[in-house]
Amino acid sequence: MVGIDVASAHVDGACLGAALPAELAHVSNDADGHSALADALAKLRPGLVLMEATGGYEAALACTLQAAGLRVAVINPRMARDFARAMQRLAKTDRIDAATLAAFAAVLAQRPDCERFVRPLSEPEQQDLAALVTRRRQLVAMQLSERQRLRLARPVTRPSIDALLEAIARQLDDVDAEMVSHVEQHHAMMAKLLQSVAGIGRVAAATLIAELPELGRLNRRQICALVGVAP
């Protein structure tokens, strides 16, 4: 079993029952790193590769590993945190997180419903939606940073910050509209099902569809459990 901790720039891997070569236990989160890790894991033939959903940073790696014939499960980060707490693994480093995910993979693989966590290969439409979701997160992060700067800004710089905030707000509106339109065109039934759950609106539904392709195989109760809301 393999656990992979994914960050924006790099990924860390850990394997139960075998050791990854040191140069492959920490690789860049790009095409070269993904290819090297896929080659190494294909030789080990693990029963399951487990990683958390990390806002899209894991998507390309998951696809590469699946294309190499590996079973890949991408889980809600809350599940990983709950498992780590239950195992009293409270220390936090990338390597420890990867080892914890590997241990969780061994547990998850024994569950009769394990297959519902195994992520299918993303369709092009899903990848486009994931790109929009990632862009939205980037804009929200930029907006937060500029608002924080505005609180401390001297009067001479406030007009510049205000202008940038207005531009970011317009971009957010555009991206939100594009996400909703994309979902209506390609994922209308799933969006309707998600929005029947209390607290999930159009943008939240689009985000979930982008990051959890396994939703298409679940019923309403299973979806509620996966996304962490009450049925």
**Domain ends where: 91, 117, 143?**
117
Report whether pLDDT(91) > 60: yes
Q: What mean pLDDT, rounded, does the chain reach?
A: 84
Question: How many domains is the chain partitioned into structurally?
Answer: 2
Q: Look at strands 72-75 and 49-52 and give their pairing.
A: parallel
Q: What Rg do the C-alpha atoms of the chain give, in angstroms?
A: 19
My answer on whether 7 and 113 are in the same domain is: yes
Bridge partners, residue 2, by sequence: 15, 49
Domain extent at residue 76: 2-117
At residue 207, does pLDDT exceed 70? Answer: yes
Nearest to 104 by CA among 46, 28, 183, 51: 51
Closest to 108 measured CA to CA, from 172, 47, 175, 29: 47
Give me 153's structure tokens: 């800004």
In this prediction, residue 127 carries a pLDDT of 77
State whether 110 and 134 are in the same domain.
Answer: no
Q: For residues 8 and 112, state if they share a domain.
A: yes
The model's pTM is 0.58
**Where does a domain end: 82, 117, 152?**
117
Q: Are 98 and 137 within one domain?
A: no
Tell me the CB-side half-sphere exposure of residue 141, using CA atoms within 13 A: 7
* Angle of the 124-152 helix axis to the 158-186 helix axis, nearest 10: 160
Confidence of residue 228 (pLDDT cuts 50, 70, 90): low
Q: What pLDDT is recorded for position 226?
A: 59
